[in-house]
Amino acid sequence: MRTTSAKSAPSPGLDAVKDRLRAEAAVEPDPVPTAPPAKKTEIIAIYGKGGIGKSFTLANLSYMMAQQGKRVLLIGCDPKSDTTSLLFGGRSCPTIIETSSSKKLAGEQVEIGDVCFKRDGVFAMELGGPEVGRGCGGRGIIHGFELLEKLGFHDWGFDFVLLDFLGDVVCGGFGLPIARDMCQKVIVVGSNDLQSLYVANNVCSAVDYFRSLGGNVGVAGLVVNKDDGTGEAQAFAEAVGIPVLSAIPADNDIRRKSANYEIIGKPGSPWAPLFEELGRQVAEAPPVRPQPLSHENLLDLFKGDSVGRDVVLEPASLEDMCGGKVLERPSLEVVYDNV
Protein backbone atom coordinates (compact mmCIF):
# COMPACT_ATOMS: atom_id res chain seq x y z
CA MET A 1 0.00 0.00 0.00
CA ARG A 2 1.33 3.49 -0.97
CA THR A 3 1.70 5.95 1.91
CA THR A 4 2.24 9.67 1.92
CA SER A 5 5.53 10.66 3.49
CA ALA A 6 5.60 13.17 6.31
CA LYS A 7 7.88 15.35 4.19
CA SER A 8 5.24 15.87 1.49
CA ALA A 9 2.32 16.44 3.86
CA PRO A 10 1.23 20.09 4.00
CA SER A 11 1.91 21.98 7.19
CA PRO A 12 -1.27 22.99 9.07
CA GLY A 13 0.45 26.21 10.13
CA LEU A 14 1.35 27.10 6.54
CA ASP A 15 -2.20 26.45 5.40
CA ALA A 16 -3.48 28.83 8.07
CA VAL A 17 -1.06 31.54 6.93
CA LYS A 18 -2.13 31.07 3.31
CA ASP A 19 -5.80 31.29 4.27
CA ARG A 20 -5.16 34.47 6.24
CA LEU A 21 -3.25 36.07 3.37
CA ARG A 22 -6.00 35.14 0.88
CA ALA A 23 -8.60 36.70 3.18
CA GLU A 24 -6.53 39.90 3.45
CA ALA A 25 -6.03 40.04 -0.31
CA ALA A 26 -9.78 39.87 -0.85
CA VAL A 27 -10.42 42.98 1.26
CA GLU A 28 -10.51 46.28 -0.62
CA PRO A 29 -8.01 48.88 0.66
CA ASP A 30 -9.20 51.55 3.06
CA PRO A 31 -9.41 55.10 1.76
CA VAL A 32 -6.09 56.90 2.07
CA PRO A 33 -6.24 59.16 5.17
CA THR A 34 -6.32 62.87 4.42
CA ALA A 35 -6.63 64.19 7.96
CA PRO A 36 -4.19 66.98 8.82
CA PRO A 37 -1.01 65.86 10.59
CA ALA A 38 -0.48 66.59 14.27
CA LYS A 39 2.36 68.96 13.38
CA LYS A 40 2.30 71.48 10.54
CA THR A 41 4.33 69.33 8.19
CA GLU A 42 4.77 70.41 4.59
CA ILE A 43 4.36 67.41 2.31
CA ILE A 44 5.86 67.88 -1.15
CA ALA A 45 5.45 65.42 -4.02
CA ILE A 46 8.24 65.41 -6.59
CA TYR A 47 7.37 64.08 -10.05
CA GLY A 48 9.37 63.49 -13.19
CA LYS A 49 10.14 61.12 -16.01
CA GLY A 50 11.94 57.92 -15.06
CA GLY A 51 15.70 58.44 -15.26
CA ILE A 52 15.52 62.23 -15.28
CA GLY A 53 17.38 62.53 -11.97
CA LYS A 54 14.69 62.80 -9.28
CA SER A 55 16.55 60.50 -6.90
CA PHE A 56 19.80 62.42 -7.40
CA THR A 57 18.03 65.73 -6.84
CA LEU A 58 16.11 64.53 -3.80
CA ALA A 59 19.05 62.85 -2.09
CA ASN A 60 21.12 66.02 -2.28
CA LEU A 61 18.18 68.31 -1.53
CA SER A 62 17.10 66.36 1.56
CA TYR A 63 20.70 66.19 2.79
CA MET A 64 21.17 69.94 2.45
CA MET A 65 17.82 70.74 4.07
CA ALA A 66 18.78 68.58 7.05
CA GLN A 67 22.07 70.47 7.33
CA GLN A 68 20.05 73.69 7.31
CA GLY A 69 18.32 72.53 10.49
CA LYS A 70 15.14 71.10 8.95
CA ARG A 71 13.65 67.78 10.03
CA VAL A 72 13.27 65.96 6.71
CA LEU A 73 11.73 62.61 5.79
CA LEU A 74 12.37 61.26 2.28
CA ILE A 75 9.97 58.59 1.04
CA GLY A 76 10.63 56.71 -2.19
CA CYS A 77 7.37 55.89 -3.98
CA ASP A 78 8.97 54.21 -7.00
CA PRO A 79 8.66 50.40 -7.42
CA LYS A 80 12.37 50.36 -8.35
CA SER A 81 13.09 51.40 -4.75
CA ASP A 82 16.13 53.45 -5.76
CA THR A 83 15.24 56.84 -4.26
CA THR A 84 17.43 56.36 -1.19
CA SER A 85 20.34 54.57 -2.90
CA LEU A 86 22.42 57.71 -3.34
CA LEU A 87 21.69 58.87 0.19
CA PHE A 88 22.99 55.58 1.60
CA GLY A 89 26.05 55.27 -0.60
CA GLY A 90 24.54 52.73 -3.01
CA ARG A 91 23.00 50.49 -0.36
CA SER A 92 19.35 49.58 -0.73
CA CYS A 93 17.14 49.64 2.36
CA PRO A 94 14.32 47.16 3.05
CA THR A 95 11.04 48.34 1.58
CA ILE A 96 7.85 48.76 3.58
CA ILE A 97 5.86 46.38 1.37
CA GLU A 98 8.46 43.59 1.41
CA THR A 99 9.07 43.95 5.14
CA SER A 100 5.35 43.91 5.86
CA SER A 101 4.88 40.69 3.87
CA SER A 102 7.77 38.89 5.58
CA LYS A 103 6.66 40.07 9.02
CA LYS A 104 3.13 38.82 8.40
CA LEU A 105 4.42 35.38 7.48
CA ALA A 106 6.37 35.33 10.73
CA GLY A 107 3.38 36.60 12.73
CA GLU A 108 5.23 39.80 13.72
CA GLN A 109 4.45 43.51 13.60
CA VAL A 110 6.39 46.01 11.50
CA GLU A 111 8.37 48.45 13.63
CA ILE A 112 9.75 51.86 12.60
CA GLY A 113 13.32 50.60 12.80
CA ASP A 114 12.53 47.87 10.28
CA VAL A 115 11.77 50.32 7.48
CA CYS A 116 13.06 53.81 8.35
CA PHE A 117 16.76 54.66 8.33
CA LYS A 118 18.75 57.85 8.78
CA ARG A 119 21.96 59.53 7.74
CA ASP A 120 23.29 62.84 9.02
CA GLY A 121 19.84 64.01 10.06
CA VAL A 122 17.92 62.77 7.01
CA PHE A 123 15.25 60.12 7.62
CA ALA A 124 14.42 57.93 4.65
CA MET A 125 12.32 54.93 3.64
CA GLU A 126 11.12 53.11 0.52
CA LEU A 127 7.53 52.03 -0.10
CA GLY A 128 8.62 49.47 -2.70
CA GLY A 129 6.35 47.66 -5.13
CA PRO A 130 5.61 44.34 -6.82
CA GLU A 131 8.00 42.43 -9.04
CA VAL A 132 7.48 42.72 -12.78
CA GLY A 133 4.26 41.04 -13.84
CA ARG A 134 3.20 40.23 -10.28
CA GLY A 135 0.99 43.12 -9.34
CA CYS A 136 -0.02 46.75 -9.81
CA GLY A 137 2.52 49.38 -8.82
CA GLY A 138 -0.21 51.94 -8.12
CA ARG A 139 -2.04 49.52 -5.85
CA GLY A 140 1.26 48.96 -4.07
CA ILE A 141 1.54 52.70 -3.45
CA ILE A 142 -1.94 52.75 -1.89
CA HIS A 143 -1.07 49.77 0.30
CA GLY A 144 2.22 51.40 1.28
CA PHE A 145 0.49 54.56 2.49
CA GLU A 146 -1.95 52.48 4.50
CA LEU A 147 1.01 50.88 6.24
CA LEU A 148 2.52 54.31 6.88
CA GLU A 149 -0.71 55.35 8.57
CA LYS A 150 -0.57 52.29 10.82
CA LEU A 151 2.99 53.25 11.76
CA GLY A 152 1.73 56.66 12.89
CA PHE A 153 2.55 58.83 9.86
CA HIS A 154 0.23 61.67 10.94
CA ASP A 155 1.86 61.86 14.38
CA TRP A 156 5.44 62.23 13.17
CA GLY A 157 7.09 65.58 13.76
CA PHE A 158 8.84 66.50 10.52
CA ASP A 159 9.15 69.90 8.93
CA PHE A 160 9.16 68.45 5.41
CA VAL A 161 8.16 65.12 3.90
CA LEU A 162 9.45 64.65 0.33
CA LEU A 163 7.68 62.06 -1.80
CA ASP A 164 9.44 60.72 -4.91
CA PHE A 165 6.93 59.70 -7.61
CA LEU A 166 7.27 58.53 -11.18
CA GLY A 167 5.57 61.05 -13.43
CA ASP A 168 5.30 58.82 -16.50
CA VAL A 169 3.07 56.26 -14.76
CA VAL A 170 -0.51 57.47 -14.90
CA CYS A 171 -2.42 54.88 -12.85
CA GLY A 172 -4.30 56.10 -9.80
CA GLY A 173 -1.86 55.13 -7.07
CA PHE A 174 0.85 57.39 -8.43
CA GLY A 175 -1.54 60.32 -8.57
CA LEU A 176 -2.71 60.00 -4.94
CA PRO A 177 -0.96 63.11 -3.57
CA ILE A 178 -2.62 65.29 -6.23
CA ALA A 179 -6.00 63.59 -6.39
CA ARG A 180 -6.56 63.39 -2.63
CA ASP A 181 -4.82 66.53 -1.40
CA MET A 182 -2.19 64.47 0.40
CA CYS A 183 0.46 67.10 -0.28
CA GLN A 184 0.52 70.87 -0.28
CA LYS A 185 2.51 71.28 -3.45
CA VAL A 186 4.19 69.50 -6.35
CA ILE A 187 7.66 70.00 -7.79
CA VAL A 188 8.53 68.71 -11.24
CA VAL A 189 12.00 67.60 -12.33
CA GLY A 190 12.68 67.88 -16.06
CA SER A 191 15.32 68.66 -18.64
CA ASN A 192 15.67 70.25 -22.06
CA ASP A 193 14.12 67.31 -23.91
CA LEU A 194 10.66 66.62 -25.21
CA GLN A 195 9.94 63.44 -23.24
CA SER A 196 10.70 64.86 -19.80
CA LEU A 197 8.72 68.04 -20.55
CA TYR A 198 5.86 65.93 -21.90
CA VAL A 199 5.74 64.20 -18.50
CA ALA A 200 6.02 67.56 -16.71
CA ASN A 201 3.11 68.87 -18.77
CA ASN A 202 1.03 65.79 -17.87
CA VAL A 203 1.68 66.43 -14.18
CA CYS A 204 0.60 70.05 -14.65
CA SER A 205 -2.54 68.80 -16.41
CA ALA A 206 -3.35 66.54 -13.46
CA VAL A 207 -2.92 69.40 -11.00
CA ASP A 208 -5.07 71.70 -13.14
CA TYR A 209 -7.79 69.02 -13.45
CA PHE A 210 -8.06 68.34 -9.73
CA ARG A 211 -7.96 72.06 -8.97
CA SER A 212 -11.00 72.40 -11.24
CA LEU A 213 -12.74 69.81 -9.04
CA GLY A 214 -12.00 71.75 -5.87
CA GLY A 215 -8.55 70.40 -5.00
CA ASN A 216 -5.89 72.52 -3.33
CA VAL A 217 -2.59 71.10 -4.61
CA GLY A 218 -0.48 73.41 -6.76
CA VAL A 219 2.84 73.29 -8.58
CA ALA A 220 5.66 75.10 -6.77
CA GLY A 221 8.01 74.98 -9.72
CA LEU A 222 10.39 73.11 -12.02
CA VAL A 223 13.89 71.83 -11.28
CA VAL A 224 15.91 71.63 -14.50
CA ASN A 225 18.38 68.75 -14.25
CA LYS A 226 21.27 68.15 -16.68
CA ASP A 227 20.80 71.67 -18.00
CA ASP A 228 22.75 72.11 -21.24
CA GLY A 229 21.67 75.72 -21.73
CA THR A 230 19.38 75.19 -24.73
CA GLY A 231 16.45 76.76 -22.85
CA GLU A 232 13.47 74.53 -23.67
CA ALA A 233 12.73 73.76 -20.00
CA GLN A 234 12.85 77.47 -19.09
CA ALA A 235 10.49 78.23 -21.98
CA PHE A 236 8.13 75.46 -20.80
CA ALA A 237 8.06 76.85 -17.25
CA GLU A 238 7.22 80.32 -18.53
CA ALA A 239 4.52 78.96 -20.83
CA VAL A 240 2.69 77.01 -18.09
CA GLY A 241 3.18 79.74 -15.48
CA ILE A 242 5.52 78.09 -12.97
CA PRO A 243 8.96 79.24 -11.77
CA VAL A 244 12.28 77.48 -12.31
CA LEU A 245 13.48 76.66 -8.80
CA SER A 246 16.97 75.58 -9.87
CA ALA A 247 19.00 74.62 -12.92
CA ILE A 248 21.49 71.84 -12.21
CA PRO A 249 24.11 71.89 -14.97
CA ALA A 250 25.12 68.95 -17.14
CA ASP A 251 28.55 68.75 -15.52
CA ASN A 252 31.02 65.85 -15.60
CA ASP A 253 31.90 66.32 -11.93
CA ILE A 254 28.23 65.94 -10.95
CA ARG A 255 27.78 62.95 -13.26
CA ARG A 256 30.86 61.19 -11.95
CA LYS A 257 30.09 61.74 -8.27
CA SER A 258 26.47 60.74 -8.73
CA ALA A 259 27.53 57.51 -10.44
CA ASN A 260 29.75 56.81 -7.40
CA TYR A 261 26.83 57.44 -5.00
CA GLU A 262 28.42 60.59 -3.55
CA ILE A 263 26.39 63.38 -2.00
CA ILE A 264 27.40 66.70 -3.60
CA GLY A 265 24.92 68.86 -1.69
CA LYS A 266 27.09 69.17 1.42
CA PRO A 267 27.88 72.48 3.14
CA GLY A 268 31.28 73.68 1.97
CA SER A 269 31.27 71.66 -1.26
CA PRO A 270 31.56 73.38 -4.67
CA TRP A 271 27.90 72.61 -5.34
CA ALA A 272 26.65 73.65 -1.89
CA PRO A 273 25.32 77.11 -2.97
CA LEU A 274 23.18 75.49 -5.67
CA PHE A 275 21.45 73.14 -3.23
CA GLU A 276 21.27 75.74 -0.45
CA GLU A 277 19.27 77.95 -2.80
CA LEU A 278 17.17 75.01 -3.98
CA GLY A 279 16.39 74.13 -0.36
CA ARG A 280 15.23 77.68 0.27
CA GLN A 281 13.13 77.74 -2.90
CA VAL A 282 11.49 74.38 -2.14
CA ALA A 283 10.55 75.59 1.34
CA GLU A 284 9.25 79.00 0.29
CA ALA A 285 7.84 78.69 -3.25
CA PRO A 286 4.04 78.93 -3.15
CA PRO A 287 1.88 76.38 -5.00
CA VAL A 288 0.24 77.79 -8.12
CA ARG A 289 -2.28 76.47 -10.60
CA PRO A 290 -0.43 75.79 -13.87
CA GLN A 291 -1.72 76.30 -17.40
CA PRO A 292 -0.84 73.03 -19.20
CA LEU A 293 0.03 73.15 -22.88
CA SER A 294 -1.57 71.33 -25.77
CA HIS A 295 0.67 68.79 -27.45
CA GLU A 296 1.14 71.09 -30.43
CA ASN A 297 2.16 73.99 -28.22
CA LEU A 298 4.58 71.73 -26.37
CA LEU A 299 6.19 70.78 -29.68
CA ASP A 300 6.48 74.47 -30.56
CA LEU A 301 9.04 74.86 -27.77
CA PHE A 302 11.51 72.83 -29.84
CA LYS A 303 13.12 73.28 -33.22
CA GLY A 304 11.26 71.47 -35.98
CA ASP A 305 14.10 69.11 -36.84
CA SER A 306 14.42 68.10 -33.17
CA VAL A 307 10.88 66.77 -32.82
CA GLY A 308 9.93 65.82 -36.38
CA ARG A 309 7.61 68.73 -37.09
CA ASP A 310 8.24 68.28 -40.84
CA VAL A 311 6.80 64.75 -40.77
CA VAL A 312 3.37 64.37 -42.44
CA LEU A 313 0.89 61.73 -41.29
CA GLU A 314 0.17 59.69 -44.42
CA PRO A 315 -2.97 57.52 -44.16
CA ALA A 316 -2.49 53.81 -44.88
CA SER A 317 -4.67 51.98 -47.39
CA LEU A 318 -6.07 48.48 -47.34
CA GLU A 319 -3.64 47.60 -50.14
CA ASP A 320 -0.78 48.70 -47.87
CA MET A 321 -2.06 46.54 -45.06
CA CYS A 322 -2.42 43.45 -47.25
CA GLY A 323 0.94 43.96 -48.95
CA GLY A 324 -0.47 44.16 -52.46
CA LYS A 325 -3.69 43.56 -54.38
CA VAL A 326 -6.87 43.27 -52.34
CA LEU A 327 -9.12 40.34 -53.20
CA GLU A 328 -12.77 41.27 -53.64
CA ARG A 329 -14.92 39.03 -51.49
CA PRO A 330 -18.70 38.75 -51.75
CA SER A 331 -20.58 40.34 -48.92
CA LEU A 332 -21.98 38.04 -46.25
CA GLU A 333 -24.79 40.46 -45.58
CA VAL A 334 -28.25 38.91 -46.00
CA VAL A 335 -30.49 41.08 -48.19
CA TYR A 336 -34.23 40.50 -47.96
CA ASP A 337 -36.56 41.25 -50.89
CA ASN A 338 -39.37 43.67 -50.20
CA VAL A 339 -42.59 41.79 -49.60
Annotated catalytic sites, by residue?
Answer: 49, 54, 80, 168
Residues 6+ apart with CB under 8 A from 286: 185, 218, 220
- Interatomic CA distance for residues 282 and 123, integer angstroms: 18
Secondary structure in 3-state letters for 114-160: HHCEEECCEEEEECCCCCCCCCCHHHHHHHHHHHHHHCCHHHCCCCE
- Interatomic CA distance for residues 132 and 83, integer angstroms: 18
Residues 6+ apart with CB under 8 A from 298: 194, 197, 198, 201, 236
- Interatomic CA distance for residues 52 and 106, integer angstroms: 39
- Interatomic CA distance for residues 14 and 250, integer angstroms: 54
- Interatomic CA distance for residues 238 and 37, integer angstroms: 34
- Interatomic CA distance for residues 185 and 223, integer angstroms: 14
- Interatomic CA distance for residues 189 and 199, integer angstroms: 9
Among candidates 187, 174, 156, 181, which has minimal Cα distance to 33? 181
